[in-house]
Amino acid sequence: DAGVIQSPRHEVTEMGQEVTLRCKPISGHNSLFWYRQTMMRGLELLIYFNNNVPIDDSGMPEDRFSAKMPNASFSTLKIQPSEPRDSAVYFCASSFDSSRGYTFGSGTRLTVV
């Protein structure tokens, strides 16, 4: 099992550019979560999907952020346009059974300059 796979590991982009983060959950897992980690705010849940359907996006900061899960093996988090305050580590996590914890990916470190 390769675990939750995120790409890219690091992304540096200029303010105003579009950024797309990618996630492949563990095969067979039916829930997928996007978290953001910063020194200021710690780990924050942005959005989560169950069976590819967005369930709760109340943590998405604003309209510049969007997430999709077109199938059970792939999800994207897009920021357009990006701003310096979006700089953070973005984690994707997946789970099979909501009664257990999640498995996290290694994260994407985003720097917007």
Partner 1 sequence: GESVGLHLPTLSVQEGDNSIINCAYSNSASDYFIWYKQESGKGPQFIIDIRSNMDKRQGQRVTVLLNKTVKHLSLQIAATQPGDSAVYFCAERYFGNEKLTFGTGTRLTIIP
Residues that bind partner 1 (CB under 8 A): 4, 31, 33, 38-43, 45, 48, 50, 55-56, 91, 93, 95, 98-107
Nearest distance from residue 64's CB to partner 1, in Å?
Answer: 20
- For partner 1, the closer CB: 80 or 98: 98
Distance CA 68, CA 75 (A): 6
What is the nearest approach in angstroms of partner 1 to the Cβ of residue 17?
A: 22
DSSP 70-109: EETTEEEEEESS--GGG-EEEEEEEES-TTS--EE---EE
Nearer to partner 1 among residue 48 and residue 65 (C-beta): 48
